[in-house]
Structure 1
Amino acid sequence: MTQNILIIHGGGPTAVMNGSLYGLIEATRKHQFTGKVFAARNGTEGLLKEDFIDLTDFPLEKLSLLKQTPGTAIGTSRTPLEKDDYEQMVHILNKHEVGYVFFNGGNGTMDTCGRLFQTIQEHSFDIKVMGIPKTMDNDLAITDHSPGFGSAARYMAQSVKEICADVKGLPIHVVVIEALGRNAGWITAASQLADPSGEFAPDLLYLPEVPFDEDKFLSDIADLLKVKSGIVVVASEGLVDKEGKPIVKPIFQVGRATYFGDVSAHLANLVIQKLGYKARGEKPGLLGRASIALQSSVDLEEAVLAGAKAFEAAVAGSSGQMVAFRRIEDSDYQIETFLVDIEEVMLYERTMPEEFINENGNGVTQAFIDWCQPLIGPDLPDMISFN
């Protein structure tokens, strides 16, 4: 019996999520896969509704548009799942003769991938389940980095560089830029790649890994105001105090999905109220994960590779694993893929290690910059100032 493929996207999209979809489908063509290639419309919700998109014979030349399309062309979801849902999924997969299931997503999606794999094992069905990493937050365990992060990092670095140039030209206020990243500061930290010389780089960074101290924040700003009049700060949306409480109460929360309060506005208001200095907040938000103009070429290439390698591993007999990246030592930036058991990844958040955070807790080290630089692709455009 010919077995079919089902591809599922989960969680928040990225600028290269569709790249992994392209890589997987392209691999089915190269290997002359004879089954159907289905995608679940809007993630696990589509699987449970048996709402499948048939991509089997879709023209490859049109599929190439996936590489320059942000978001997800097949839809995604954050649908909460119960044990009975996994039982239902197995029934649906058998009904549609699906022998290979691919989950492309972050922590929550890898948890779903692992739970479906466990349910399939309990029933001793021959259905292969593979994970394809995706998260702009870069918080998946084991893998050196995740597709989606490099593009978000490039967007953040370039955008912060442009704001730094703006503030340098009119240095009359403190600008606080809010970065995405719930519990991990990778995106916030990436803003330091704006300018190696430091001229068009942020002055201060505040990461969720470091408990936020309001007095220290104000002291950091006050000290800088003694030597310069325009300051750029980048702060994570997930900043918490020493008790682990968000510095701005979340406005809405359902399960793992948290809608944070406006951290940038809060910090800007602190500067205005406590220091009596002009300040404003900026919040790129979804722009940071949807920019094709600032997509990292390295990120796209690796996203395509992850999709292809997941397919190759599954048809070779692997299951219950995720494709991961590691760097090849003693060389310029090169990576290789390997497989990691999904149990090692499920809902384990990888945060910034201590060696990437400076001693003052308000910036990053050179070690982080050296690690992150290759991921954002070609050098950012140079800028100049006479001011």
Structure 2
Amino acid sequence: MTPAVALLVLATAALSGCGSSGPGGEPATEIPVAAASATATASPGAVPGASVGMGGRSASPTPKPSRPGGGVLRAGNPGGGAHVPAEARMVDTSRPTRVVGTGTAASCTSDAVVKAVAAGGTITFDCGPEPVTIRMRATAKVRNANGPKIVLDGGGKVTLSGGGERRILYMNTCDQAQGWTTSHCQNQDHPQLTVQNITFADGNSTGDRAEAGGGGAIFVRGGRFKVVNARFVDNRCDRTGPDLGGAALRVLSQHENKPVYVVNSTFTGGSCANGGALSSIGVSWSVLNSVFRGNRAVGAGANPARSGTPGGGSGGAIYCDGNGFSVRIGGTIVEDNRANEGGGAVFFVSNDRTGTMTIEKSTLRRNPSAGFETRGFPGIFFLGARNPTVTGSKLG
């Protein structure tokens, strides 16, 4: 995945942006320099350009918890007030396909999680009455033929930990090792992966540069993906690189550019070259009633990397690059994140300038951009079709 990069010098102020592959942003004093890149689409190994589109199959509008009474996890911003469409809501897991554990913490092992995820279906946990942390000894990988829906529901009591050593969860429709199920792996509607009522902690994909790297806790390419009522804590990916990112989530090539939903979820303490929480190329996002706090983009040199630097440092919380995609941030708090380069809160570059961003009923505050940001939008660097649409929100 090697984007062709061209520099665009912006002579005047206020442009805001999140984009797809090969983003960029490099300041010349107060005038930012952004990168426009082309995304390869010809081969399964290349990330395709995204088409415009939102939607997808609806989940149950009245989901049930995996156990009577639900779990103990409460994530996100309960006072956010953003409308959550039916397809973005929690999946009913009251009739699981398989259960990890037999009623004790000791029975809930890494091996059991890996086997359950590979087998697919609706997965719940029975680890006893108390919260439990399962330290993953291997990354759980989705087998592309074992779906079409895979749901991982922690019941509010389960933490999956990478132990600071490995990525926790992986899905890639274009990875031949996980099985190809169509001739157009980069744009297929399955598998459809949901993670809910669960915590992902201490994931670390450092050194794994497959598909350009990133995704310390979860890496997804293809199919559909959503996150509901989940926490992501202290995840990591490589500290340098102009375009890799996503300490918590790295997502590529969603079916028909339908959005990744992140609902009622919390991201804290993430650190990566770019995207201290989320990172994507050519992917739309709908981030609703969630919280991003204390995440950092720690790379240096932006994208394309300045001479003598390794590149990176953009998108303290969220890093988006690509062509035609959209980002909606609703009912969400983004605070105390930081970028060494551009976009302490959000870095958005749409290379073909068709991308759009909407911020509603949200608060973005104290998100310093040490290098550059879009004038009038503190904490945001944006290049897209037009300035972000901001309603009922506070930026500061």
Indicate the structure with greater strand content. Answer: 2
| Higher helix proportion (structure 1 or 2) | 1
**TM (normalized to structure 2)?**
0.26
Higher Cα Rg, which structure: 1
Could you tell me the TM-score, scaled by structure 1's length?
0.26
